[in-house]
């Protein structure tokens, strides 16, 4: 192997080593980011489940609440009528 080929082999291997190291670092950051995204998604799912449960509770309580509100309005009207 003459000197030019040796220099080209050294340059090529140096570039490949640099690319390999950068790829490893990038892969580590991507893995960390994926883990963080998974945690955020899990928390978002918990919040959505909680919101759905709250909405379900409100939906089930809206019937009795409406009845109580109607009774309160009737009592208020009767009290106003009796005061006159």
Structure tokens at 19: 């690319």
Measuring CA to CA, how many Å separate 17 from each of 11, 36, 76, 78? 10, 29, 84, 89
pLDDT (0 to 100) of residue 18: 97
**Alpha-carbon span 8 to 48, nearest angstrom:** 58
**Alpha-carbon span 51 to 68, nearest angstrom:** 25
pLDDT tens for 32-44 read: 999 999 999 999 8
Residue 70, pLDDT above cutoff 90? no
pTM of the model: 0.55
Model confidence at 28, pLDDT cuts 50, 70, 90, reads very high
Residue 47, pLDDT above cutoff 70? yes
């Amino acid at each position: 192997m003459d000197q030019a080929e040796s220099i080209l082999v050294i340059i090529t291997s140096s570039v490949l080593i640099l690319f390999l190291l950068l790829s490893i670092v990038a892969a580590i950051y991507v893995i960390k980011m994926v883990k963080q995204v998974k945690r955020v998604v899990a928390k978002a799912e918990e919040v959505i489940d909680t919101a759905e449960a709250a909405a379900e509770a409100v939906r089930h309580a809206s019937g009795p609440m409406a009845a109580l509100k109607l009774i309160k309005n009737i009592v208020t009207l009767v009290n106003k009528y009796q005061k006159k």
